[in-house]
Amino acid sequence: MRINKTSIIILCALCAALNIVLGTIVGQLKIPLLFLDTIGTIFASVYFGPWYGAAVGATSNIAIGVLFNPKSIPFFIVNVIVGLVVGYISKKFNYSFITALIIGIILSIICPLVGTPISVWLSGGVTGTGNDFLVLYLRKTGSSVFTAAFIPRITGNIVDKITSCILVWALIKKLPVQLRPNKNNYQETPYDLNENL
């Protein structure tokens, strides 16, 4: 089923809202090893392609920064990378359970590598999440700031990104066949948003 550009924009806005709502709830609850703030990005990337996913990711972080915490804004880079990685891999391979698992593992390494320097630069590695307990513990035991910030991030991302990718796979699997992602849904780039409105 071909989806027009207006519907794509609406669905991407809903994906960004999903990132914000889930990320805020999990952040408020301070659940360790879980963020769930990229599920919308992953869904949009699988459904419409890497650049739409990247746009959803950037929009989510900027909106969270404006509404709640300006320190979230620089992390838009991480969410953009999630969109690009998921989108390009999904374009090449069918988004199966195995693909979701592999993407989750890849993201669990890439995201901390990008996010840790941002976290250290902004706040010495402490970000107000459930992982801060481990950061502070590692700092007290003599670890460097980068190591203390990186270890909890990679630990948390292993759980979070794999969980998020598999949740998106499960959601897509529950959709009727005619609504699942296919080559007709996939968009190469969001730069032609005015086309076919």
pLDDT tens track for 132-155: 777 778 888 888 888 888 888 898
* Amino acid 185: pLDDT: 61
Distance, CA of 14 to CA of 143 (rounded, Å) = 41
Q: 6 with 132: CB under 8 angstroms?
A: no
* Amino acid 195: pLDDT: 44
pLDDT tens track for 114-129: 998 998 888 787 766 6
Mean pLDDT over each residue of the chain, to the nearest integer: 87
**% of the chain residues with pLDDT over 70:** 88
Distance, CA of 64 to CA of 81 (rounded, Å) = 17
- What DSSP state is assigned to residue 108? H
**% of the chain residues with pLDDT over 90:** 55
Question: Which tokens is 139 given?
Answer: 């700092």
CA angle 182, 184, 186 (to 5 degrees): 70
71-82 average pLDDT score = 95
Task: Report yes or no on whether pTM surpasses 0.95.
Answer: no
pLDDT score of 84 more than 80: yes
pLDDT score of 160 more than 60: yes
pLDDT tens track for 17-53: 999 999 989 888 877 778 899 999 999 999 999 999 9
Distance, CA of 77 to CA of 118 (rounded, Å) = 9
Q: Give the CB-side neighbour count of residue 62, counting CA atoms within 13 A.
A: 9
Higher pLDDT, 196 or 126: 126
The CATH topology of domain 5-190 is Arp2/3 complex 21 kDa subunit ARPC3 (1.10.1760)
Q: List b or e across 146-163, with b for residues whose CB sees 16 or more CB atoms inside 10 angstroms.
A: eebbbbbbebbbbbbbbb
Indicate the domain borders of the chain: 5-190
pLDDT score of 112 more than 90: yes
Question: Which tokens is 31 given?
Answer: 């659940």
